[in-house]
């Protein structure tokens, strides 16, 4: 039952980052490349019409974590309290940036909320990537000092950064040189995904230019990917053991590199949906590869005093998992129906759809 819930939550999280990921990426593209008011309006619309339904998947993932792995839920929501509050504020400012920009026709008003939308999207992509870096790196479970655990084995609390800015210390911070690289990979990946979404859903005048942007960003991404793999071996020399012991898991890195290599042919791709599919593979492969490298661990410990958090030592009792299964299926069906209806209503290009007025 624990494995089932782990897979289910991983699927929902992957869907969230694929769907809301293009909203983040759209904001990044909007911030740096949209210059004409008509382009700004239609690009904002391509995110604004979808962001609220896409974020439902994040709420669903949080609820599923609470039902299935309450110890892990309690641990990360207290340990990552500072970055979670930052993410909450960024989500708020991204939303009001989208909703407020069209309320008045004053240019200064639009510029303020365009900046809010763009900067919030950029920082959200960065912080979600940093969060993944923390999960991969591990934390000081139990707040061990001098070999003695100061708290229970599932407790931890991280400052935003420590004085050494290093992931190799006994008390790492949320942001260090390793997690920052993972954050930058998230920013570049979601910018590519957002650019593909804009090309797919709009007739923006910068669409042809965005294909060149995607190609350049893809070069940056492959360099960052190789660099991160090198750093990962420094932070955790055993990080690739799961792939050696269970070769079937190699399917997930293959998914990632399929998307990465395919996007080098972006200028030759005729159908916009195919390019969007390739950036979807990037996100799907990246998330699943990270989770597969850890399984069954869901939060490593950087000390040897307390064992890592796994799907087994953080799961709810068997009865709770079985009850959660019933309600989880009902909730997922409702979520899926909502998603299908919303996407059918918003099918095709969004240029002439009403939003934000």
pLDDT tens profile 188-224 = 999 999 999 999 999 888 888 999 999 999 999 999 9
Query: Do 199 and 274 form a contact (C-beta atoms < 8 A)?
Result: no
- Whether residue 352 is contained in a domain is answered as no
As a whole number of angstroms, the distance between CA 213 and CA 193 comes to 11
Residue whose pair of structure tokens reads 């289910």 in the numeric block: 8
Query: Do 62 and 113 form a contact (C-beta atoms < 8 A)?
Result: no
Q: pTM value?
A: 0.91
As a whole number of angstroms, the distance between CA 182 and CA 136 comes to 10
As a whole number of angstroms, the distance between CA 118 and CA 298 comes to 31
As a whole number of angstroms, the distance between CA 83 and CA 160 comes to 7
Angle between helices 2-33 and 272-294 (to 10 degrees): 130
Q: What is the pLDDT of residue 189?
A: 96
Helices (H), the chain: 2-33, 37-48, 51-54, 56-68, 70-79, 81-100, 107-137, 177-201, 207-235, 241-245, 251-262, 272-294, 318-345
Residue whose pair of structure tokens reads 């593979």 in the numeric block: 281
Q: What is the pLDDT of residue 351?
A: 76
Residue whose pair of structure tokens reads 């008003």 in the numeric block: 109
- Whether residue 351 is contained in a domain is answered as no
Domain residue limits at 260: 2-345
Cβ-count burial 255-288 (b if 16+ within 10 Å, e if not): bbeebbebbeebeebeebeebbebbbbbbbbbbb
Phi-psi region of 201 (alpha: psi -120 to 50; beta: other; left: phi over 0): alpha
Query: Do 256 and 289 form a contact (C-beta atoms < 8 A)?
Result: yes
- Whether residue 272 is contained in a domain is answered as yes
- Whether residue 355 is contained in a domain is answered as no
Q: What is the pLDDT of residue 323?
A: 85
Q: What is the pLDDT of residue 133?
A: 92
Count of domains for the chain: 1
- Whether residue 309 is contained in a domain is answered as yes
- Whether residue 354 is contained in a domain is answered as no
Q: Rounded to the nearest 10 degrees, how much is the dihedral formed by the CA atoms of 213, 214, 219, 225?
A: 130
Report the run of H or E that residue 298 belongs to, with start and end: strand 297-299
Which is it for the CA torsion 83, 86, 92, 97, positive or negative?
A: negative
Q: What is the pLDDT of residue 258?
A: 95
Tokens of 65: 């974590």
Tokens of 341: 């209806």
Q: Give the C-alpha distances (Å, rounded to integers) separating 94 from 15, 26, 41, 269, 355.
A: 20, 11, 15, 31, 15
**Which one, of 130, 37, 54, 36, lies nearest residue 95 by Cα?**
54
Q: What is the pLDDT of residue 279?
A: 95
Neighbours of 7 (CB within 10 A): 13
* Phi, psi at 144, each rounded to 5°: -70, 130
259 Cα distance to chain centroid: 17
Tell me the CB-side half-sphere exposure of residue 152, using CA atoms within 13 A.
9
Q: Which residues pair with 338 in a beta bridge?
A: none
Identify the segments of the chain with pLDDT beneath 50: none
DSSP 307: P
- Whether residue 353 is contained in a domain is answered as no
């Amino acid at each position: 039952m624990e494995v089932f819930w782990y897979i289910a939550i991983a699927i929902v999280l992957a869907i969230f980052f694929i769907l809301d990921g293009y909203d983040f990426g759209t904001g990044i593209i909007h911030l740096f490349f949209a210059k004409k008011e008509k382009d700004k309006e239609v690009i904002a619309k391509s995110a604004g019409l979808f962001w609220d339904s896409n974020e439902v998947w994040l709420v669903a993932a949080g609820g599923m974590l609470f039902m299935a792995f309450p110890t892990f839920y309690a641990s990360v929501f207290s340990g990552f309290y500072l970055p979670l509050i930052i993410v909450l504020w960024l989500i708020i400012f991204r939303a009001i940036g989208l909703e407020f920009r069209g309320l008045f026709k004053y240019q200064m008003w639009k510029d303020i909320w365009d900046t809010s939308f763009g900067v919030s999207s950029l920082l959200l992509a960065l912080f979600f990537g940093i969060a993944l870096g923390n999960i991969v790196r591990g934390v000081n479970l139990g707040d061990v000092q001098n070999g003695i655990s100061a708290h229970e084995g599932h407790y931890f609390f991280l400052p935003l950064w420590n004085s050494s800015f290093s992931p190799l210390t006994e008390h790492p911070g949320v942001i260090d040189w390793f997690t920052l690289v993972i954050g930058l990979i998230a920013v570049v990946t979601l910018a590519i995904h957002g650019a593909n979404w804009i090309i797919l859903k709009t007739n923006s005048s910068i669409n042809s230019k965005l294909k060149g942007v995607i190609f350049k960003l893809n070069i940056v991404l492959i360099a960052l990917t190789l660099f991160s793999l090198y750093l990962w071996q420094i932070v955790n020399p055993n990080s690739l053991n799961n792939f050696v012991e269970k070769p079937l898991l190699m399917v997930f890195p293959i998914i990632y590199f399929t998307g990465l290599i395919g996007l080098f042919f972006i200028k030759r791709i005729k159908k916009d949906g195919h390019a969007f599919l390739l950036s979807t593979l990037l996100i799907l492969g990246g998330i699943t590869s990270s989770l597969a490298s850890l399984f069954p661990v869901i939060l490593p410990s950087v000390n040897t005093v307390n064992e890592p958090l796994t799907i087994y030592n953080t799961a709810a009792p068997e009865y709770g998992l079985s009850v959660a299964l019933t309600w989880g299926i009902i909730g997922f069906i409702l979520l899926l129906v909502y998603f299908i209806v919303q996407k059918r209503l918003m099918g095709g290009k969004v240029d002439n759809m009403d939003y934000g007025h």
